[in-house]
Amino acid sequence: MYLILWLLLHPYHVSVCEIVIGTEAPTLQITHRMFTEDLELALRRHTEDPSLHVIEDSSVVMSALKSYFQKNFSLWVNDENKDFVFLRFEIEDDLTWCFLEVTDVRDLKLLHVQNSLLLDLFDDQKNLLHVKSGMLKKSYLLDKETVSAQFVLE
């Protein structure tokens, strides 16, 4: 009984990242979703601004998000580091969705992803990573011990 109560009260810390490899255009469409409360905590630490709120769609928030993602999320295509464009973010209930894009991704054979978002906040933080290319889908579970994964296209 106590175990069930503890499990119900104990928060689970998870984020989900989905990367869709373009089949018609040479792009990577990237979507991150995470709990807004967790993201705000991370941004406050990153910016050292305790009053920062994600729900305020401002240039300050957008700048903080871009900076935080640049520090904690990286992609390599065929061993070449690729810059991403942080397009926008949206809040839906208690989740924040962040949308990124990498353009000019040609002859993709190997995709390496490093995702350390939120890992410095919670010991039990898990970052799920889904990579899709056409009908092929591969999923990875990232955490403090494993912050990166590779996706091989054959």
Please report, for the domain that includes residue 40, its CATH number. 3.30.70
Whether 3 maps to a domain, the answer reads no
pLDDT at residue 3 in the model: 43
> Is the pTM value of this prediction over 0.75?
yes
pLDDT at residue 5 in the model: 44
Length of the chain as a residue count: 154
Whether 5 maps to a domain, the answer reads no
Whether 115 maps to a domain, the answer reads yes
Radius of gyration of the chain (CA): 16
Between 3 and 53, the higher pLDDT residue: 53
pLDDT at residue 29 in the model: 97
If 0-12 CB within 10 Å is exposed, 13-18 middle and 19+ buried, where does residue 68 land?
Answer: buried
Whether 85 maps to a domain, the answer reads yes
Question: Could you report the per-residue pLDDT of 143-154, keeping only the tens digit for each?
Answer: 999 999 999 986
* Mean pLDDT in residue range 2-8: 45
Whether 2 maps to a domain, the answer reads no
Whether 78 maps to a domain, the answer reads yes
Whether 6 maps to a domain, the answer reads no
Domain interval for residue 90 = 13-152
Whether 114 maps to a domain, the answer reads yes
Q: Between β-strands 14-21 and 126-133, what pairing exists: parallel, antiparallel or unpaired?
A: parallel
* Mean pLDDT in residue range 97-106: 94
pLDDT at residue 41 in the model: 93
The domain total for the chain is 1
pLDDT at residue 1 in the model: 45
* Mean pLDDT in residue range 47-68: 86
* Mean pLDDT in residue range 44-72: 88
